Amino acid sequence: MSKLIIDGGVPLLGEIRVQGAKNSVLPILAATVIAGDKCVLHNCPRLRDVDKTDLVLERLGCTVERHGNTVIVDPDGFCSCEICDDLMRAMRSSIIFLGAIITRCGEARVSMPGGCPIGLRPIDLHLKALKELGVSIHEEHGYIICRAKKLKGTDIHLDFPSVGATENIMLASVCAEGTTTILNAAREPEIADLAAFLNAMGARITGAGSSFVTIRGVKKLSGAEYTIMPDRIVAATYLAAAAATDGEIFLTGADPSSMGAMLHVLREMGARINVSSGTIHLKSRGRLKNIHILRTMPYPGFPTDIQSPFMAMSATAEGTVVYVENIFENRFRHVDELVRMGADIKVEGRSAVVSGVKTLYGTRLVARELRGGAALVVAALGAEGTSEISGVEYIDRGYEEIEKSLADCNACIRRVQ
C-alpha cells in the first residue's frame, strides 16, 4: 500500500491539464458492449476504477487495449451476461453495465452491489425503471437475474434524479421498440456526455442534460470514436488546493461551463477566477472567507463530490460555514481526520459546522474513500508541517497521478510504497 508524504505550507503555483471525467468514462465504457464494432475513446484517465471497468469488459468477452489516454474496446467477442461478485464488490458502480448487457443479449446476471463508505447506495430506482421497460427481475442468492424477451419503450418518471438510474435507462432503451421518455432525469454533464457517445454510435437521444430525456429506439448501434469530457470534480479539487495554499493555478483542458456552482463558491470565498474556453485561472487573494451555508444538490446545484475537498479549504478560511450533505447519508468521514489536524468541525446528522481556524497542522492521516481522501490532500498542502496520508488507493480511484500533478505546481508531495 502506498502513502503520500506532504510538506505543507507551500503555495501552489503552476499549470495542470485536467484529466478525462471518471463519471463519464465509466458509463461510456459500459455502453461499448452495445456497439456493433470497435470503439475508440480518447482522454480516458488512468484510474483504478477505469482499470476495474476494463476488467469487467474483458470478463464479458470484449477486448480492451490502452495506448496512453486512448482506450480501444472491441465488443465482438462478447460472450457472457454475468458480472460476478468479486468485480461488483471491487466496484459497485459496475451496476451501470446492467442496462447495456440487457440491451446486448436480453438478459443479465449481476451480483447485488453492496453499499460503500459513503452510503447504502440502493438501486431500487434502477430496477423499477427496468421493469417498466419490460425486464423481469428476481433476486437469487445475492444475484440480480434480469430477463427481457423484448424491451419496450415507455414513459418513466424518476422519484429522484439518480445519475446511475438515468444512465441505466438510457442504456436499456437505446435499442428498445418505440420511444422512452425520462421525466426528472439527472442533469449532470456526464449524462449528456454518455448521450453524445451513444448518438455517435447511431442512437437517437435528445434532451440529455435536462430533466426530460427522449430516447427513440433504433435497430442497432455501430462503433464510434469519442473524446471524454474533462473531469469537473478533479478540476475543482485542484482549484481548492490552490486557494487553500494562497497560490495561483492554471487549469487547461477544462470545461468551466460544467462547473458554475463550484466556481461561484470559490469567487464568493474570495478567490479571483478567470475562465476562457478550456482554461481556468485561479489566483488567491489572501485568506479565504467562509460563506454562510453550502447545501449539496443534484446538478446544477453544488455537487456532493466536491463537498469534502471544499470543506478542507473552508477549515482555514475566516468565519463559519454549515455544509449540508443532502445526497449521501455518510459523507463526513473525512471530518475526524481534519479535526486531528486542528480543524474546528462539528457534525450534526447531515450538517457539519465548520469554524475556520488560522492553521492546520500536518500529521498521520487515513483516507477511507475517494473524495474524502482528496480532501486530506487539500488540507495537508495548506497545513504547517508534514502529513503522511495512507489509503492512497482510494484517491487513485478518481485522481490520475495526483502527486505528479501537484508536484508540477510546486507542491512538496511524494508517494512512498
> What are the grid coordinates assigned to 67, written together?
495506448
- Give the residue with the Cβ less far from ligand EPZ, 241 or 383: 241
371 lies in the site for ligand EPZ, by CB under 6 A: yes
- Give the residue with the Cβ less far from ligand EPZ, 23 or 103: 23
* Residue from the set 4, 262, 370, 413 that interacts with ligand EPZ by CB under 6 A: 370
* Residue from the set 304, 308, 314, 387 that interacts with ligand EPZ by CB under 6 A: 304
Cα torsion 387, 393, 25, 304: sign:
negative
- Give the residue with the Cβ less far from ligand EPZ, 134 or 161: 161
Q: What is the 3-state secondary structure (H, E, C) of the chain?
A: CCEEEEECCCCCEEEEECCECHHHHHHHHHHHHHECCCEEEECCCCCHHHHHHHHHHHHCCCEEEEECCEEEEEHHHCCCCEECHHHHHHCHHHHHHHHHHHHHHCEEEEECCCCECCECCCCHHHHHHHHHCCCEEEEECCEEEEECCCCECCEEECCCCCHHHHHHHHHHHCCCECEEEEECCCCCHHHHHHHHHHHHCCCEEECECECEEEEECCCCECCEEEECCECHHHHHHHHHHHHHCCCEEEEECCCHHHCHHHHHHHHHCCCEEEEECCEEEEECCCCCECCCEEEECCCCCECHHHHHHHHHHHCCCECEEEEECCCCCCCCCCHHHHHHCCCEEEEECCEEEEECCCCCECCEEECCCHHHHHHHHHHHHHCECEEEEECHHHHCCCCCCHHHHHHCCCCEEEEEC
The β-bridge partners of 4 are: 389, 415
- Give the residue with the Cβ less far from ligand EPZ, 97 or 250: 97
Query: What is the footprint of ligand EPZ within residues 178-207 (CB under 6 A)?
Result: 186, 188
State in angstroms the smallest separation of the CB of 33 from ligand EPZ.
17
- Give the residue with the Cβ less far from ligand EPZ, 250 or 328: 328
165 lies in the site for ligand EPZ, by CB under 6 A: yes
> What are the grid coordinates assigned to 415, written together?
508517494
Binding mask 275-294 for ligand EPZ (x = CB under 6 A): --------------------
| Cβ-closest position to ligand EPZ | 164
54 lies in the site for ligand EPZ, by CB under 6 A: no
- Give the residue with the Cβ less far from ligand EPZ, 48 or 371: 371
Binding mask 102-131 for ligand EPZ (x = CB under 6 A): -----------------x-xxxxxx-----
Can you tell me the distance from the alpha carbon of 71 to that of 44, in angstroms, rounded to the nearest whole number?
Answer: 7
321 lies in the site for ligand EPZ, by CB under 6 A: no
State in angstroms the smallest separation of the CB of 350 from ligand EPZ.
11
> What are the grid coordinates assigned to 283, written together?
489566483
- Give the residue with the Cβ less far from ligand EPZ, 300 or 385: 300
- Give the residue with the Cβ less far from ligand EPZ, 22 or 38: 22
- Residue 371 identity (one-letter amino acid): R
* Residue from the set 164, 209, 356, 362 that interacts with ligand EPZ by CB under 6 A: 164
Query: What is the footprint of ligand EPZ within residues 13-32 (CB under 6 A)?
Result: 22-23, 26
331 lies in the site for ligand EPZ, by CB under 6 A: no
Total chain residues near ligand EPZ (CB under 6 A): 25
Q: Which stretch binds ligand EPZ (CB under 6 A): 30-38, 73-81, 162-170, 240-248?
A: 162-170
Binding mask 383-402 for ligand EPZ (x = CB under 6 A): ---------------x----
160 lies in the site for ligand EPZ, by CB under 6 A: yes
Mind telling me the catalytic residues?
A: 116
332 lies in the site for ligand EPZ, by CB under 6 A: no
Tally of CB atoms within 10 A around 201: 21
Residues near ligand EPZ (CB under 6 A): 22-23, 26, 93, 119, 121-126, 160, 162-165, 186, 188, 304-305, 327-328, 370-371, 398
